Structure 1
Amino acid sequence: MTVQTTFDFDQMLSNAREAYGEELMKMADEGLDFVFTYSDNIAPSSAAGKLIKKYPDRCFNFGIAEANQVGASCGLALTGPPVFAQVFGPFLPLRAADQIHTDIAYNDVNVRLIGTHAGLTAGGGPTHNCVCDLALYRAIPNLTILVPADAGQCIKAIRASMEHQGPMIIRINRGGSPDVYADSNYEYQIGKGIETVPGDDCAIISTGSSVYWAMMAAKQLLNDNIHARVVDMHTIKPLDTELIMKCARETGTILTIEEHSINGGLGSAVADVLCERGFTGSFSKMGLPDEFALLGDPDKVYAHYGMSAEGIVSKVKEMI
């Protein structure tokens, strides 16, 4: 069953980075027990800054020292309450890989690592592009990996994480992006993908901001009488293999799209599932190529690599 989305509307922008901070503030006001850590100046300049001002005793600043922050977050979690740790996304997997692996995952602690600025960035170039993180996270045991499609779903992920046992990555994008869901009246379950657009000619499995691009592509494909199913695979690990195989059986054509390298991300995860189960249909994955991406406005760079709605439409037509 599909859910109510913004499929028939133009872009309705919201910001997951602001939404998660506002939700943490609500949770603190409700009396929920958790700790918040942050690095650099990203959190104070966003909605999370209100949490820091109102509840300073539960908030800890580690400056520009991401590895220290992640390690200390493990120690704080071992004292009892879960820890939400906001880290600049490009530096989280690269500078703190050892701490994620050995401190957080190995000890299986309740730390929710919130990696911001996922995907490409306009100003920092390759050193600030967060496009290889999913490949690392997928290989580390015990890590649950969530990639919300929009700000509203980010709120659902934050709430759901309070009941979840074990370490978690919550990967959010760099700023404002279009809403996927018209409202919050839909079921969100960690590990279960969501069908946002029905269709039987092909299935576009996407995650994060790419869900909206896939939906706009599906809308354009209707002009050619092509009914593309769109799936929001908001949980990369554990992956909803049952939904993937359902799409494979019912459409025979699978395309994945993500703001990540084509190596090791959602596309690779879906390919593993299909190959292991003997899928003989058509499969392809879209993402950033195996190169250091061009520098420029992110939307223009994504379009350059064929990751716009128009690029997805062209790829689907080629496949079917």
Structure 2
Amino acid sequence: MTTTTAPKLKTSAMIASFVDPGQKTATAPFGHALVEAAAQNDKIVGLSADLAKYTDMHIFAAAFPDRFFQMGMAEQLLFGAAAGMAETGLIPFASTYSVFAARRAYDFLCLDIAEPELNVNIVGGLPGLTTGYGPSHQATEDIAIFRGMPNLTIVDPCDSVDISQAVPQLAASEGPTYLRVLRGKVATVLDEYDYTFELGKAKILHGGADVLFISSGLMTMRALQAAERLAADNIDVAVLHSPTIKPFDSQTVLAEMNTDRLVVTLENHTVIGGLFESVAAAATRVGLGKRVVPIGLPDQFLDAGALPTLHERYGLSTDRICATVRAELG
């Protein structure tokens, strides 16, 4: 009698992918984009708080070992050192997990980097619900924390195209920036659209007469998937991608909102203090009486588990997005 043993799963909740099977991807787009930018500008340096391998900074470290600085598990030191380097005219890219940048080192970021408007580029890994390791590593409120910091630019990229094009623009931006980086095998989505990343600008990717999706980050990928699926039900969905959360492109967003379409925001972040509230605030300021339906993470600490399960549970999956739109349209 013979027995068979099921293969041992080798996935990690820490580095789990939210990319669909068979989807086109690019490996470590941030790391490769930083190397390319650094080859053109010898002022660019890289730092990490013992997480280079997990934020794709190790690509830069291998290419430019003399321009990479491993600061150890000390986020306050990481950003203090980055500030000092920027004071001398260097252009630091400092990487750690988003939770550690936002929760552990806020004061250093605020007073050492943002207040003097130094060109320090904060690279945050595992943004929102991109890990199953639970509240200690899920940066579900990082944008809310950072939106109140003066002078700080916040970028939430959709895919490898966004990341690759954003890096040189962030390096050229004179003030501090925060990039919610997607790591490892990152989806390539926006190459199929007439799109280029432009810092501070939102872009229409897909037209539609019935519903307007306003999305950022990986949720733009889901918005496009949902739009395609809803088209089978004769629901015509437009997708407006807003990768820059601050400064917010109110002009483009309000122009698209000022129609009879159902407006839905989609974000990989709590509905408190992120894209939804940016959109709602922009509409309120100009007296646009428009209802906005938020799709995002709830105002609570999230469970640990497998990413597909968690995305379905908290409403970020394509199936859940489509169900929300159908329910709203009745």
From 238, 242, 247, the equivalent of 1:238 is 247
TM-score (norm 1): 0.90
Q: 1:238 to 1:118 in 2, by over 3 A?
A: same
Q: Is the 8 A contact 2:223 2:318 kept in 1?
A: yes
C-alpha distance in 1, partners of 2:37/2:152?
23
From 199, 202, 217, the equivalent of 2:211 is 202
Q: 1:304 to 1:226 in 2, by over 3 A?
A: same
From 177, 198, 204, the equivalent of 1:189 is 198
Q: 1:49 to 1:237 in 2, by over 3 A?
A: same
SS, match of residue 214 in structure 1 = helix
From 34, 53, 64, the equivalent of 1:24 is 34
SS, match of residue 127 in structure 1 = coil
From 198, 213, 237, the equivalent of 1:228 is 237
Deviation at 1:252, TM superposition (A): 3.5
1:176 and 2:185 correspond: yes
- Name the residue aligned to 2:174: 165
Q: Is the 8 A contact 1:84 1:112 kept in 2?
A: yes
Letter in 2 for 1:39: A
Give unmatched runs, 5+ long, in structure 1: 1-8
Q: 1:50 to 1:303 in 2, by over 3 A?
A: closer
From 42, 49, 58, the equivalent of 1:39 is 49
Letter in 1 for 2:103: L
Letter in 2 for 1:76: M
- Name the residue aligned to 2:73: 64
Q: Is the 8 A contact 2:54 2:125 kept in 1?
A: no
Q: Where has structure 1 moved over 6 Å in runs of 4 or more?
A: none
Tell me the alpha carbon deviations over residues 118-169 of structure 1, each in whole angstroms, 9 at most, x when there is no partner. 1225452111111100001110000001111101210111011122110000
Q: 1:57 to 1:141 in 2, by over 3 A?
A: same
Deviation at 1:44, TM superposition (A): 4.1
Bigger Rg, structure 1 or 2 = 2
Tell me the alpha carbon deviations over residues 201-247 of structure 1, each in whole angstroms, 9 at most, x when there is no partner. 12111111100111111111111211111111100001110111112
- Name the residue aligned to 1:307: 316
C-alpha distance in 2, partners of 1:11/1:249?
37
Letter in 2 for 1:145: I
Letter in 1 for 2:58: G
Give unmatched runs, 5+ long, in structure 2: 1-19
1:154 and 2:163 correspond: yes
- Name the residue aligned to 1:295: 304
- Name the residue aligned to 2:274: 265
Question: What number of residue pairs does the alignment pair up?
Answer: 310
C-alpha distance in 2, partners of 1:317/1:44?
42
C-alpha distance in 1, partners of 2:195/2:306?
33
Q: Is the 8 A contact 1:11 1:179 kept in 2?
A: no
- Name the residue aligned to 1:281: 290
SS, match of residue 199 in structure 1 = coil
Deviation at 1:103, TM superposition (A): 0.9
C-alpha distance in 2, partners of 1:222/1:45?
38
- Name the residue aligned to 1:88: 97
SS, match of residue 225 in structure 1 = coil
C-alpha distance in 2, partners of 1:136/1:47?
24
TM-score (norm 2): 0.88
- Name the residue aligned to 1:132: 141
Letter in 1 for 2:48: Y
Deviation at 1:91, TM superposition (A): 0.9
Q: 1:283 to 1:303 in 2, by over 3 A?
A: same
Deviation at 1:50, TM superposition (A): 4.0
C-alpha distance in 1, partners of 2:167/2:186?
18
C-alpha distance in 2, partners of 1:162/1:103?
18
